[in-house]
Amino acid sequence: MHKITATIDLGEKETFQKWNGKFYQESDLDQVVHVTEDTVIMRPDATLDGPGVPIAYVVTNVFPNDDMRDVLYGIEDSSVMRANCSGPIDPVEMAKKGLIEGEHYKLRSPNSYHVRAKNGKWGMIAYANEINSVMIGVKRGRFTGKINISNPDKWEALKPLCEDVERAFEKGAPEIYTRQRKFAEDAIAPEHRHGMITTLSANRYSAMQSKAMAVHSDGKDVEYTTMSCHRQGDYEGAYLSFPRWGVGLDLPDNCVCIADSKSLHCVTPIRGAGQRFTTVCYTDLSAATIGNMGKSERLIGRFAKKEIGNLEEFIGAFPLDKS
């Protein structure tokens, strides 16, 4: 593999305080790596993590045909629930939609907001900027505790892509792959994964819609995450970037990048008429139900009450000590 070494380290805490949730620009980068061959990007030698720790691996020429590209091009879903990576709420942009802060919405955080309902009360759901992104595959319900398949038709269609991505993972980072594959086989039920991959996020970037992705981390991924890149037409920018190290990757078409997604990362703005499609394929820790790392699918909250029957039965299942 071709080797590139980062030259700066801003520190994880310092990077988080400065950049988390914000958009990152090309001008903020220390270096841009235009990847043309299998490449590993290393941290500077003098880090607390020890010398030779990789930031990312890139494996080129991964996909044997255009079958998966055709599937991805047909995905036009969007989300308003990804506050961690959709960027700060802009009052000017909100006003263009007829929404005035304090009257129609109030901020929950710099990146999310609550909408005022018709009865004058604030809604409980927090919304974010709309981005062209959709979650596909296995996910544990935040409020139910149950594991379900989101977008099952898309999940079935993209399983061959998961297989190609996994082969690239094994080629680029075999030791990490073996360790992560073993975890998936030991802790996640076969029906909740395809190989070692449980879930993927399909993202579309274009100058007319989602131009960038803000600085964020993905805390529930098991160790390293993979991202395939598919380019349509001509564009510039859209660098997968790691602000702590000041490194941006100009990824070629048909490649897979392997990186620790718990480390802060982002995508710089795209320019031009082309589009960039990515699939972030990962092993979701919350899908584990077996062994020491596993968590059962027992329903929680009001859903647990429904599963037991009624409130009296629910309380009776956990008798109070009256002594």
pLDDT in tens, 260-310: 888 999 999 999 999 999 999 999 988 888 876 666 665 555 544 444 444
Strand, coil or helix: 122: strand
SS3 for 95-119 is: HHCCCCECCCEEEEECCEEEEECCC
What letter would DSSP give residue 261?
A: T
Is residue 249 in a domain?
yes
Is residue 102 in a domain?
no
Q: Report the length, in residues, of the chain.
A: 323
Is residue 299 in a domain?
no
Residue whose tokens read 């993972």 = 169
Is residue 195 in a domain?
yes
* Per-residue b or e along 200-224, where b marks 16 or more CB atoms closer than 10 Å to that residue's CB: bbbbbbbbeebbbbbbbbbeebbbb
Average pLDDT, the chain: 88
Q: In terms of DSSP bridges, do strands 39-42 and 2-5 run parallel, antiparallel, or are they unpaired?
A: parallel
Q: Residue 48 pLDDT > 80, yes or no?
A: no
Domain that holds residue 35: 2-81+129-287
pTM: 0.88
| CATH number of the domain encompassing residue 235 | 3.60.130.30
Distance from the Cα of residue 164 to its chain's centroid? 19
